[in-house]
Amino acid sequence: MLRIVGLAPVVLLSLLASCSDSTGPFSLAMHRAHWEKQNLHEYLYTASKECFCLNSGQEVYVLVLADTVFSARAVGTNVELPRGEWFTVDQLFDLAQHPSENYEKVRVEFDPELGYPKLVELSCSSTVVDCGLRLEAKNLGGLVYIN
């Protein structure tokens, strides 16, 4: 029995190491729980996306109010962009956890402080043209209201 107990830390460490993949279910759940602890439902962040789509490569300020994208404005010009093309943090988690069947590979990087996905990269098979998506989120800050 002592032998099993003595091996327990080694086995636990091995299991944790095997879950270090940032896109594994354990990692996504752990980071989502960390994000939810922040209790942020209204925030602003800078986003960008690379894809075969409109506004690819452009930095955008995304304003989220009541867990809904309220506005998206181009950095530098402040031009309003379609809100439906941008994501809340919860939607970034959902996209990473349940990508469409077109995508073969998912890679996610998380913000170490708040736990939100700062990068979601979806890759397609090399035989599929015009496919793939890379979303970046940075500079996320909660909103403070002053009466």
Task: Give 71-82 pLDDT, tens digit per residue.
Answer: 999 999 999 999
Regions of the chain where pLDDT drops below 50 = 1-21
Q: Which region, left, alpha or beta, applies to residue 78 given φ > 0 means left and ψ of -120 to 50 means alpha?
A: left
> How much is the pTM?
0.76
Residue type, 79: V
What single string gives the DSSP state of each residue in 99-121? --TT-SEEEEEE-TTT--EEEEE
For residue 61, give every residue at least 6 positions away whose Cβ sits within 8 Å of its Cβ, in sequence order, or none: 44, 45, 46, 47, 71, 72, 73, 74, 75
